[in-house]
Chains A and B, each alone.
Chain A
Amino acid sequence: MSQSLDEITLQLKRRHRQSRLMKWLSMGALGLAGLFLVFFFTDMLMKGLPAFQQAQIQVKAHYSEQASKMPPAAVDEDIRDLVSRGWLRLIPRQIQDQPKLLGTTRTEWVLADGQVDQYLKDHPNRLSEDARARVDEMVAQGRAELRFNLRFFTSGDSKMPELAGIMAAALGTVWTMLVTLVIAFPIGVMTAIYLEEFAPDNRLTQLIEININNLAAIPSILFGLLGLAIFINFFGVPRSTPLVGGMTLALMTLPVIIIATRTALRSVPDSIRHAAFGVGCSRWQVVRDHVLPLAMPGIMTGSIIGLAQAMGETAPLIIVGMVAFIPDVGGTITDAATVLPAQVFTWSGEPDRAFVEKTAGGIVVLLAVLIALNATAVLLRRKFERRW
């Protein structure tokens, strides 16, 4: 006997209620995740954006003979304590570089002391009552203000927060990533091609496959120990350098690239391979001309994501000494260097409160780079994705 429409509808009610409930639950989960993300980003931006501004004050700078020997003499005594000591220290070198400066007095906007900066940003500071009054007066006269902190993006680290910049670490990251890419990409892709397209399916290749998958799950700090033991102690690669850091991260990224490449290769339908073999392609021609072009978007996305992971990695780099204090921008792969996350880590340990915003600013830069990388991955996939 068949049921009537009404009976069926009645039974369905419970099922509909269930699916509505599941829909609300999953939407709630998504909302919660989104909320965390928004919270995290606003917190980081709120804390980090002040780092992109720095207090400057207008002073009469005397480039005198005396100042070249004793820099504090370059500014008048009444505001000497408000000027960054870091800037003062640079005066002799400036005079040396530009002899024409000697003997002149110029009205210039110069870096203010870190405490003045914190005061102008309404952060806790150690400025005396008297100094605060003088800063207030200068602000009223338009001789003290917060300006865009170009130095943060162009200079290296410093013990004085108003001088500290992210550039040395950013360059270190670029070099390290280049080394990682140059090592891990070709080796990873070729390994995957061998395993997927050439190797017979036997015990040995299965064993290799399992081990590669295991490798991807190893805590990253162990790769640091491996890098220390093999690259530094055995092969004598100079420590603290992008070279050794890049090699260490390459070890870590290899399994990610291998797995991504194998997945991409496997997703190319066999009918394409058969077509290619059918017209008389050799195995390598099949791979090069037909399989790889189709797998490329997947390979690139996987590799970029692997690189992005490596880029955010700190633990293994600490082990190979890449948390060095690098005040100068412009080293190469064999000079001591630090990387963005390590720089953030260093700053977060500084006692001076002014470094809190540097830390957050560094994180904002790191996040921006990572987001840019991931967006590139998505774009590449969109652009090269082809149907067959």
Chain B
Amino acid sequence: MNRSSPGEPLTHNDNAHHELIIRVRDLDLWYGESQALHGIDLDLYRNNVTALIGPSGCGKSTFLRCLNRMNDLIPSVRVKGSVEMEGRDVNDARTDEVALRRLVGMVFQKPNPFPKSIYDNVAYAPRMHDLVSRKPDVDDLVEQALRDAGLWDEVKDKLKQPGTSLSGGQQQRLCIARAIAVRPEVILMDEPTSALDPISTATIEDLMDRLKLQFTIVTVTHNMQQAARVADYTAFFHLGEVVEYNDTKTMFSNPATKRAEDYITGRYG
């Protein structure tokens, strides 16, 4: 099936869901005077894993941060174009970025648990958003989030210990538990496994496979095997543009563009 409009993937993955959740159109972004994103068109589908790949500095993280307006924290940033979610432009003045971030959670490259107990790391945000208030409900929610993040069995006896006392891989899963505890629609992951060993990486990849049943995941990775394993769709970024957006299988077996092929096969540095 061929693309009918910009932003759609070139080939459809028949096994994937195709309910649109975020529609990005003609997105430009400047850091001060230098433009980092050029006319990005991208459709993101609910309950899919979409991987963003591309050489260092091509704008993957920048694009990811546009989806939950974390770029607002950088004073020099200027954005043009539309990022539509639930029929609304997230950059619209009427959209509250705090509300947006409750629906679009984020997991960072370096695990960054709060300097609080494991329990409070997970319980903090749901309490803050008034999702739960009674103690037993909070307990249930913490347990559920930690189970979903595949961490429950390892930490159930030490919930009062500081989150920072865990290993790197455990900390990253704690951060995932923290993100899913507020039941977001979308989870953004910026190279979530780049600081982890192969076993923790495999654990988190399995996790993404399960989590996409409940959430929509957009992940950045430099690991081609990882993209091939976990993603339904893959977008190849280069110099601030989306060069190719394709069904992951097609992207890795039969890329449509030369640049994507070179990058995937390692001919491009």
Interface residues of A (CB under 8 A from B): 200-201, 271-282, 285, 289-290, 293-294, 386-388
B189 to chain A, nearest CB (A): 11
> When the two chains form their complex, are residues A279 and B182 in contact, meaning their CB atoms are under 8 A apart?
yes
Q: A275-B113, A275-B114 are in contact. Are A281 and B128 (CB under 8 A)?
A: yes
Contacts of B105 in A (CB 8 A): 278-279
B79 to chain A, nearest CB (A): 17
> When the two chains form their complex, are residues B124 and A289 in contact, meaning their CB atoms are under 8 A apart?
yes
Cβ-defined partner of B75 (8 Å) among A200, A285, A388: A200
- For chain B, the bracket of interface size reads 20 to 34
- Cα A289 to Cα B125 in complex, Å, equals 11
Contacts of B182 in A (CB 8 A): 279-280
> When the two chains form their complex, are residues B108 and A280 in contact, meaning their CB atoms are under 8 A apart?
no
Identify the interface centre among B108, B115, B164, B179: most chain A CB within 10 Å of its CB: B115
10 CB < 8 A contacts A-B? A271-B108, A271-B110, A272-B115, A278-B105, A278-B106, A279-B105, A279-B182, A280-B128, A281-B128, A386-B162
Q: A285-B128, A289-B124 are in contact. Are A279 and B101 (CB under 8 A)?
A: yes
Query: Which 10 A-B residue pairings sit nearest by Cβ, starting from the closest?
Result: A280-B102, A279-B125, A271-B112, A278-B106, A388-B115, A280-B101, A275-B112, A282-B98, A280-B98, A386-B115
Contacts of B221 in A (CB 8 A): none
Contacts of A279 in B (CB 8 A): 101-102, 105, 124-125, 128, 178-179, 182
> When the two chains form their complex, are residues B115 and A274 in contact, meaning their CB atoms are under 8 A apart?
no
Contacts of A200 in B (CB 8 A): 75
CB nearest neighbor in B for A269: B112
Contacts of A285 in B (CB 8 A): 128
Whether B199 sits at the interface, judged by CB under 8 Å, is no
Whether B1 sits at the interface, judged by CB under 8 Å, is no
Whether B70 sits at the interface, judged by CB under 8 Å, is yes
> When the two chains form their complex, are residues B101 and A201 in contact, meaning their CB atoms are under 8 A apart?
no
* Interface positions of B from 162 to 185, Cβ below 8 Å from A: 162, 164, 175, 178-179, 182
> When the two chains form their complex, are residues B115 and A280 in contact, meaning their CB atoms are under 8 A apart?
no
Whether B93 sits at the interface, judged by CB under 8 Å, is no
In the complex, given contacts A276-B114, A278-B101, A278-B179, what are 8 additional A-B residue pairs having Cβ atoms less than 8 angstroms apart?
A: A201-B75, A271-B108, A274-B73, A274-B108, A278-B108, A279-B128, A387-B164, A388-B164
Whether B156 sits at the interface, judged by CB under 8 Å, is no
A268 to chain B, nearest CB (A): 9
Contacts of B193 in A (CB 8 A): none
> When the two chains form their complex, are residues B115 and A294 in contact, meaning their CB atoms are under 8 A apart?
yes
B195 to chain A, nearest CB (A): 12
> When the two chains form their complex, are residues A272 and B70 in contact, meaning their CB atoms are under 8 A apart?
no
